[in-house]
Amino acid sequence: MGAALSLTDAVLDGEIVCLGADGTPQFYDLMRHRTPQYYYAFDLLWLNGRDLRAVPLVQRKRRLRALISRSTSPSPIRYVDHFRGCGVDLFPSVCERDLEGIVAKYAEGLYTPKATTWVKIKNTDYSQAEGRDDFFDARARAATATRNSAPA
């Protein structure tokens, strides 16, 4: 029997997502807390007091998969697998499924603030992109107004 999943000693990189009936991410459901939320983990940066950022991505992902797979009960944490090979071949499928895009990373890449080892390739026809900038701009303006009106 596997050990219970404990992430108290781990730092994950991922994204919170709400899923539609078809299993695709629903941005506005997330913003409005309409459906259950899941944390899609795609990287493991720290585990049991050890900084893993200088470990190659494929090794960090192997440890992340093992960590998440030890869960013995339903968990809102999901592992994001990777596709080896050419992202150019994957991208048309992403667009056909109306997904936001893909993130391309070097398999041996380190997690470092000094140099970007990844690139996000966006689907320019993504249906949920419309209005996002306005949504975030409005939230940023509201947050700035709140900070500026707070007593010193």
Residues 30-58, mean pLDDT to the nearest whole number: 91
Residue at 37 is within a domain: yes
**β-bridge pairing 101-105 and 118-122:** antiparallel
pTM, rounded to two decimals: 0.74
Look up residue 50 and give its DSSP letter. Answer: E
pLDDT-based confidence at 150, cuts 50/70/90?
Answer: low
pLDDT bracket for residue 1 (50, 70, 90): very low
| Tally of domains within the chain | 1
Residue 148 resides in a domain:
no
145 within a domain of the structure (yes/no): no
| pLDDT score recorded for residue 3 | 46
Q: Give a yes or no: residue 91 inside a domain.
A: yes
In a domain, 152, yes or no: no
End-to-end CA distance of the chain: 55
CATH number, residue 82: 3.30.470.30
Contact between residue 15 and residue 43 where contact means Cβ atoms under 8 Å apart: no
CB 45 within 8 A of CB 60: yes
pLDDT at 41: 94
Residue whose structure tokens are 């940066």? 45
Quick check: is 101 in a domain? yes
5 lies in some domain: no
- Coil/strand/helix, residue 77: strand
- Only one residue has tokens 């949504």, namely 135
Average pLDDT of the chain is 83
Among residues of the chain, what percentage have pLDDT more than 70?
A: 84
For residue 110, tell me if it sits in a domain: yes
Q: Which residues pair with 15 in a beta bridge?
A: 40
Residue 24, pLDDT above cutoff 90: no
State residue 39's pLDDT score. 94
pLDDT higher than 50, residue 5: no
pLDDT band at residue 2 under the 50/70/90 scheme: very low
pLDDT, one tens digit per residue, over 79-124 is: 998 888 777 888 999 999 999 998 888 888 888 877 677 888 899 9
Beta-bridge mates of residue 122: 101
Specify burial of residue 39 (Cβ count, 10 A radius: 0-12, 13-18, 19+): middle
Host domain of residue 77: 10-140
Phi and psi torsions of 50, nearest 5°: -110, 125
